[in-house]
Chain A
Amino acid sequence: MKVRLAFTVNDEPVELLADDYKTLLEVLREDLGLTGTKHGCELGECGACAVLVDGQPLLSCLVLAVESEGRRIETVEGLAAGGRLHPLQECFADLGAAQCGYCTPGILMTAKALLDREPHPSRERIAEALSGNLCRCTGYLQIFEAVEAAAERAETVPSAEETA
């Protein structure tokens, strides 16, 4: 049965009709065209589909679209704001934290939730927070460094010049 849903995605209101049995992942990618959120297994075993729901990192492959009603969804497409990349995005790009880039959106969103909650996490806390995101390319170390760099960068006033 199709249900009418209304929620916000990246601070913009969304209204759509979706079947009961659709997941948030499917609705984001296939109904809203937001293909930035990826899928690696659809069973909650890899973390690639992580998005923020009311500020919390969840796996969109296991969230029903119908249970997203009224909630605040954030995806990688909304990370950059006001024409500026988020410090996490800048640092991931600069420090080699993205190789094939497929696990990157899920990791960025999870890392964002961490920094929103804990502005200066230890390396241990970062590894723990990202322990639900698998990466097959990097070996994680450059990812940890990028999160640490982003935590530091977020403190300083953003420069007026946007780095490409």
Chain B
Amino acid sequence: MMRLPAFRYRAPRTIADAAAWLAENPADTMLLAGGTDLLPNMKRRQQTPATLIGLRGIRELAEIASGETFDIGAGVTLSTLVSHPHVRQRYPGLYQAAAQVATPHLRNMGTIGGNLCLDTRCTYYDQTYQWRKAIDFCMKKDGDTCWVATSSPRCLAVSSTDTAPMLQALAASVTLQSSRGARVVPLADLYANDGMHYLTRQPDEILTKVTLPAIDGWRSAYWKLRRRGSFDFPVAAAAVAAKLDGPDVIDVRIVLGAVASRPVASDQAAAILRGNRLTDELIGAASAAAADVAKPMDNTDFELVWRKSMVRTLVASALHEIRGDDVRARRRQIARQELLLISRSA
């Protein structure tokens, strides 16, 4: 059996305590929410912190508040999120993103905060210690070379979170708390395009809350590409949020997942659509433009050229769905489930 390395477990009851304990030794302490990302990594010895701070005892982290904004505690599980009526009705793209993460068991355990802070992934990195020793390790952990592209100066591990691209497209912001205080940042600013240093969160900060602005007529859709109907991380994804006035696009945000070390916004694709009628032609042009910013590397399932070509299909499908077209057949084909059609009246 694969087993965890030894560590000390501490269970604070308040955010303040968690932050204080984290500040004691941020370099050798990690936060444990659902454990679905951290514990497998620890079993493979990708991370071996001396102390784990378990967050499940902090009630405040599991609260959901709906008012002017929609506030989701970072400790809310993905299952809870997926079954919340406001998520389905107002942020259907978020529903689709969260509902496709992993498996039902893992969604019962995994949290939104954990999914946003998900470690970047790579087929050279998400391996046991013995396997990594056989390749003499890699840049991200214990080695010097990025084996994905040996002349790359930076690590090319892939952002593999489903909820981050969608929340970024929905203009979400996150609250980061530490003993030094709290700050709110747009979700887009939480990420950096570096496989190793992919989070701008400081080592002594805890992501405590995700805030979504009022829906204000925005529609959303999330399309995920993976080999199977469950378990698998995204190998490409399109998160689209748009505000329409009839057939015309008032505003739109298109964010791609799993094609870089962070969610990538395609401003060019958005510019093509903004202020124009959402026609088939324009959908085609925008999805082609979006595929341009996708730079998948050979470190996931599927061939990178094919993944890149599928970005077009994913973005187009999301736009068609937002327009109100019947995309159920395509959705069944790719997701193996119907998931939700966005409501026209939202």
Query: Using a CB–CB distance below 8 Å, which chain A residues touch chain B?
Result: 1, 3, 19-23, 26, 39, 41-45, 47, 50, 56-59, 62-64, 66-67, 110, 124, 128-129, 131-132
In-complex Cβ contact of B9 among A44, A58, A66 (8 A): A66
Chain A residue numbers with a CB within 8 Å of B231 are 45, 131-132
Closest to A51 in B: B105
B5 touches A21 (CB 8 A): yes
Give complex CA distance A59, B39 in Å: 12
Asked if residues B104 and A132 are in contact (CB atoms below 8 Å), the reply is yes
Is B261 an interface position by the 8 A CB rule?
no
7 nearest CB pairs, A to B: A132-B103, A131-B230, A20-B9, A43-B40, A42-B2, A21-B4, A132-B105
Q: Closest chain A residue to B9 by CB distance?
A: A20
Nearest CB on B from A110, distance (A)? 7
Chain B residues positioned under 8 Å from A44 (CB to CB): 36, 39-40, 102, 105-106
B65 within 8 A of A: no
Could you list 11 further interchain pairs (A-B, Cβ under 8 angstroms) beyond the known A62-B36, A66-B11? A1-B9, A23-B39, A44-B105, A45-B40, A57-B104, A58-B105, A64-B9, A67-B56, A131-B103, A131-B229, A131-B230
Q: Encode contact with A along B77-105: 1 for CB under 8 Å, 0 otherwise.
A: 00100000000000000000000001111
Partner of A19, one of B6, B32, B36, B102: B6
Question: B334 contacts which chain A residues (CB < 8 A)?
Answer: none
Q: Across the interface, do B108 and A57 meet the contact criterion of CB distance under 8 Å?
A: yes
Q: Are B105 and A42 in contact (CB under 8 A)?
A: no
* Cβ–Cβ < 8 Å partners of A131 in chain B: 103-104, 229-231
Interchain CB contact under 8 A, A64 and B35: yes
**Docked complex Cα distance between A63 and B102 (Å):** 16
**Given known contacts A21-B5, A26-B1, A42-B2, A67 and B105 CB-to-CB distance under 8 angstroms:** no
Residues of chain B within 8 A (CB-CB) of A42 are 1-3, 43
- 19 A–B contacts from the bound complex (CB under 8 Å): A20-B52, A21-B5, A23-B39, A39-B1, A42-B1, A42-B43, A43-B40, A44-B39, A45-B231, A47-B103, A57-B105, A58-B109, A62-B39, A62-B40, A67-B11, A67-B56, A124-B337, A131-B231, A132-B105
Roughly how many angstroms separate A160 CA and B7 CA in the complex, as a whole number?
52
When C-beta atoms are compared, the residue in chain A nearest to B230 turns out to be A131
Interface membership of chain B positions 4-18, coded 1 if the CB is closer than 8 angstroms to chain A and 0 otherwise: 111111010000000
Q: In the complex, A151 Cα to B4 Cα: how many Å?
A: 38
- The contact string, 1 if C-beta is below 8 Å from chain A, for chain B 296-329, is 0000000000000000000000000000000000
Query: Which of B36, B44, B104 meets A129, CB within 8 Å?
Result: B104
- Residues of A close to B44: CB separation below 8 A: 43
Asked if B43 contacts A63 (CB within 8 A), the reply is no
Min CB gap A49→B, angstroms? 9
Report whether B2 and A132 are in contact in the complex, using a CB–CB cutoff of 8 Å: no
* B278-292, CB < 8 A from A: none
For residue B56, which residues in chain A have a CB less than 8 angstroms away from its CB?
67
**Is B54 on the interface with A (CB-CB < 8 A)?**
yes
Q: Contact check, B104 vs A110: say whether CB atoms are below 8 A apart.
A: yes
Collect the chain B residues with CB atoms within 8 Å of residue A23's CB. 3-4, 39
Contacts of B4 in A (CB 8 A): 21-23
Binary flags per residue of B57-89, CB closer than 8 Å to A gives 1, else 0: 000000000000000000000010000000000
Closest to A49 in B: B105
Indicate with 1 or 0, residue by residue over B216-248, a CB within 8 angstroms of chain A CB atoms. Answer: 000000000000011100000000000000000
Are A50 and B105 interface neighbours, CB within 8 A? yes
Given A1-B8, A21-B7: A132 in contact with B230 (beta carbons within 8 A): yes
Q: Which residues of B are found within 8 Å of A110, using beta-carbon distances? A: 104-105
Nearest Cβ distance between residue A127 and chain B, in whole angstroms? 9
Q: Is the CB of B109 within 8 A of A132?
A: no
Which of A26, A39, A63, A132 is most buried by chain B, counting CB atoms within 10 A of its CB?
A132
By beta carbon, the residue of chain A nearest B44 is A43
By the criterion CB–CB under 8 Å, are A20 and B8 in contact?
Answer: yes
Q: Is the CB of B2 within 8 A of A67?
A: no
CB <8 Å contact, B54 and A67: yes
Residues from chain B with a CB closer than 8 A to the CB of A62 are 35-36, 39-40, 106, 109
Question: What is the chain B residue whose CB lies nearest that of A53?
Answer: B108
Q: Residues of A contacting B3 with CB < 8 Å? A: 21, 23, 26, 42
The CA of A44 and the CA of B110, in the complex, are separated in Å by: 11
- Distance in angstroms from B21 CB to nearest chain A CB is 15
Measured CA separation A58–B43 after assembly (Å) = 18
Across-interface contacts of A129 in B (CB, < 8 A): 104
Interface residue from A3, A41, A45, A63 paired with B109 (Cβ < 8 Å): A63
- Shortest distance in angstroms between A106's beta carbon and chain B's nearest beta carbon? 9
